Amino acid sequence: MRFLSTIDPTSIKIIDELNIKFFKWLDEDYNRKEHSSIDMSPLDFFMSQVPRMNMFNDIDMLNECFLIKVNRKVNKDATLKVENILYEAEEKFKNMHLEVRYDPKWLMTNTPLLLYHEGKKVGETYKVDFHENAKIPVEYIENKKVTSENEDTADFDAKPNPTVISFNDIVD
Protein backbone atom coordinates (compact mmCIF):
# COMPACT_ATOMS: atom_id res chain seq x y z
CA MET A 1 0.00 0.00 0.00
CA ARG A 2 1.34 3.43 -0.94
CA PHE A 3 1.91 6.07 1.70
CA LEU A 4 -0.40 8.78 0.37
CA SER A 5 -3.36 6.43 0.27
CA THR A 6 -2.94 5.76 4.00
CA ILE A 7 -3.34 9.34 5.18
CA ASP A 8 -6.19 11.80 5.39
CA PRO A 9 -4.93 15.09 3.89
CA THR A 10 -7.31 17.13 6.04
CA SER A 11 -5.73 15.75 9.21
CA ILE A 12 -2.30 17.22 8.39
CA LYS A 13 -1.85 20.74 9.75
CA ILE A 14 1.93 21.20 9.58
CA ILE A 15 4.79 19.60 7.67
CA ASP A 16 6.18 17.98 10.83
CA GLU A 17 2.99 15.92 11.18
CA LEU A 18 3.38 14.69 7.62
CA ASN A 19 7.03 13.77 8.24
CA ILE A 20 6.17 11.85 11.41
CA LYS A 21 3.47 9.86 9.60
CA PHE A 22 5.75 9.17 6.64
CA PHE A 23 8.66 7.85 8.72
CA LYS A 24 6.29 5.73 10.82
CA TRP A 25 4.84 4.21 7.61
CA LEU A 26 8.33 3.72 6.16
CA ASP A 27 9.64 1.95 9.27
CA GLU A 28 6.58 -0.11 10.20
CA ASP A 29 5.10 -0.90 6.83
CA TYR A 30 7.31 -0.47 3.79
CA ASN A 31 10.74 -1.57 5.09
CA ARG A 32 9.40 -4.55 7.09
CA LYS A 33 7.01 -6.15 4.60
CA GLU A 34 8.17 -8.69 2.06
CA HIS A 35 8.39 -7.42 -1.52
CA SER A 36 7.65 -9.83 -4.31
CA SER A 37 10.49 -8.61 -6.54
CA ILE A 38 13.20 -9.45 -4.00
CA ASP A 39 11.36 -12.09 -1.92
CA MET A 40 12.23 -10.33 1.31
CA SER A 41 11.72 -7.01 3.04
CA PRO A 42 13.86 -4.04 1.92
CA LEU A 43 15.42 -3.89 5.39
CA ASP A 44 16.40 -7.59 5.26
CA PHE A 45 17.80 -7.13 1.76
CA PHE A 46 19.89 -4.16 2.88
CA MET A 47 21.23 -6.04 5.90
CA SER A 48 22.17 -9.00 3.67
CA GLN A 49 24.40 -6.67 1.64
CA VAL A 50 26.36 -5.28 4.61
CA PRO A 51 29.30 -7.73 4.22
CA ARG A 52 29.79 -6.53 0.64
CA MET A 53 30.07 -2.90 1.66
CA ASN A 54 33.46 -1.25 1.55
CA MET A 55 33.91 1.22 4.33
CA PHE A 56 35.96 4.31 3.65
CA ASN A 57 38.61 4.79 6.33
CA ASP A 58 40.19 8.04 5.16
CA ILE A 59 37.59 10.76 5.74
CA ASP A 60 39.77 13.48 4.14
CA MET A 61 40.10 11.43 0.96
CA LEU A 62 36.34 10.82 0.94
CA ASN A 63 35.67 14.54 1.37
CA GLU A 64 38.00 15.32 -1.57
CA CYS A 65 35.80 13.14 -3.79
CA PHE A 66 32.92 15.58 -3.35
CA LEU A 67 34.81 18.82 -4.05
CA ILE A 68 34.07 21.01 -7.05
CA LYS A 69 36.60 20.42 -9.82
CA VAL A 70 37.58 23.09 -12.36
CA ASN A 71 40.47 23.27 -14.82
CA ARG A 72 42.60 26.40 -14.85
CA LYS A 73 45.76 27.58 -16.56
CA VAL A 74 48.27 29.14 -14.18
CA ASN A 75 49.37 32.53 -15.54
CA LYS A 76 52.95 33.66 -16.16
CA ASP A 77 52.93 35.39 -12.78
CA ALA A 78 51.88 32.11 -11.04
CA THR A 79 48.31 33.28 -10.40
CA LEU A 80 44.93 31.85 -11.36
CA LYS A 81 41.30 32.87 -10.88
CA VAL A 82 38.50 30.83 -9.35
CA GLU A 83 35.06 32.47 -9.17
CA ASN A 84 36.72 35.84 -9.91
CA ILE A 85 39.02 35.49 -6.90
CA LEU A 86 42.74 35.69 -7.59
CA TYR A 87 44.90 32.91 -6.15
CA GLU A 88 48.67 32.49 -6.20
CA ALA A 89 50.48 29.21 -6.74
CA GLU A 90 54.10 28.13 -6.62
CA GLU A 91 56.39 29.38 -9.39
CA LYS A 92 56.87 25.84 -10.71
CA PHE A 93 53.23 25.79 -11.88
CA LYS A 94 53.61 28.78 -14.27
CA ASN A 95 51.86 28.22 -17.63
CA MET A 96 50.59 24.78 -16.53
CA HIS A 97 47.03 23.51 -16.86
CA LEU A 98 45.90 22.22 -13.46
CA GLU A 99 42.72 20.91 -11.91
CA VAL A 100 41.59 23.00 -8.94
CA ARG A 101 39.40 21.31 -6.33
CA TYR A 102 37.52 23.21 -3.65
CA ASP A 103 34.49 23.44 -1.42
CA PRO A 104 32.49 26.63 -2.18
CA LYS A 105 32.73 27.58 1.52
CA TRP A 106 36.51 27.82 1.13
CA LEU A 107 36.09 30.80 -1.20
CA MET A 108 34.72 32.86 1.71
CA THR A 109 37.70 32.06 3.95
CA ASN A 110 41.46 31.84 3.55
CA THR A 111 41.37 28.06 3.13
CA PRO A 112 43.78 27.00 0.35
CA LEU A 113 42.38 25.33 -2.76
CA LEU A 114 43.85 21.99 -3.84
CA LEU A 115 45.85 21.63 -7.08
CA TYR A 116 45.94 18.40 -9.09
CA HIS A 117 47.87 17.43 -12.20
CA GLU A 118 46.96 14.23 -14.06
CA GLY A 119 44.88 13.06 -11.09
CA LYS A 120 47.63 13.52 -8.49
CA LYS A 121 47.66 16.20 -5.82
CA VAL A 122 50.60 18.51 -6.53
CA GLY A 123 50.02 21.46 -4.22
CA GLU A 124 47.77 24.19 -2.93
CA THR A 125 46.91 27.69 -4.02
CA TYR A 126 46.24 30.62 -1.70
CA LYS A 127 44.22 33.81 -2.06
CA VAL A 128 46.32 36.77 -3.13
CA ASP A 129 46.69 39.16 -0.21
CA PHE A 130 46.67 42.51 -2.00
CA HIS A 131 47.47 44.39 1.21
CA GLU A 132 50.64 42.37 1.83
CA ASN A 133 51.62 42.45 -1.84
CA ALA A 134 51.45 46.25 -1.80
CA LYS A 135 54.27 46.40 0.72
CA ILE A 136 57.72 46.63 -0.83
CA PRO A 137 60.47 44.82 1.09
CA VAL A 138 63.09 47.16 2.61
CA GLU A 139 65.90 45.17 0.95
CA TYR A 140 64.34 45.83 -2.46
CA ILE A 141 64.08 49.57 -1.80
CA GLU A 142 67.68 49.77 -0.52
CA ASN A 143 69.00 47.79 -3.49
CA LYS A 144 67.04 50.01 -5.86
CA LYS A 145 68.54 53.16 -4.25
CA VAL A 146 72.09 51.83 -4.54
CA THR A 147 71.53 50.81 -8.15
CA SER A 148 69.96 54.12 -9.12
CA GLU A 149 72.71 56.10 -7.34
CA ASN A 150 75.37 54.15 -9.23
CA GLU A 151 73.52 54.66 -12.50
CA ASP A 152 73.07 58.39 -11.83
CA THR A 153 76.73 59.00 -11.01
CA ALA A 154 77.91 56.80 -13.85
CA ASP A 155 75.84 58.79 -16.32
CA PHE A 156 76.90 62.10 -14.81
CA ASP A 157 80.63 61.28 -14.78
CA ALA A 158 80.69 59.90 -18.30
CA LYS A 159 81.60 62.38 -21.03
CA PRO A 160 79.08 62.29 -23.80
CA ASN A 161 80.36 61.81 -27.31
CA PRO A 162 78.21 64.28 -29.18
CA THR A 163 77.75 63.84 -32.87
CA VAL A 164 77.11 67.15 -34.56
CA ILE A 165 74.92 67.02 -37.59
CA SER A 166 74.81 70.07 -39.75
CA PHE A 167 71.83 70.94 -41.90
CA ASN A 168 74.23 71.87 -44.67
CA ASP A 169 75.70 68.34 -44.61
CA ILE A 170 72.23 66.87 -45.09
CA VAL A 171 71.27 69.17 -47.97
CA ASP A 172 74.49 68.61 -49.91
Kindly report whether the global pTM for this prediction surpasses the value 0.75: no
Residues 119 and 63 in one domain: yes
Q: What is the pLDDT of residues 29-60, one digit of tens each?
A: 889 989 889 999 999 999 999 989 888 888 88
Domain count, the chain: 2
Domain that holds residue 25: 4-52
Residues 73 and 118 in one domain: yes
Residues 31 and 81 in one domain: no
The answer to whether 85 and 108 are in contact (CB under 8 A) is: no
List the Cα angle 77/128/96 in 5-degree steps.
35
Residues 38 and 80 in one domain: no
Where are the extended beta strands (E) located within the chain? 68-73, 79-82, 85-88, 97-102, 113-117, 120-127
Residues 76 and 44 in one domain: no
Q: What is the pLDDT of residues 95-133, one digit of tens each?
A: 999 999 999 999 999 999 999 999 999 999 999 988 877
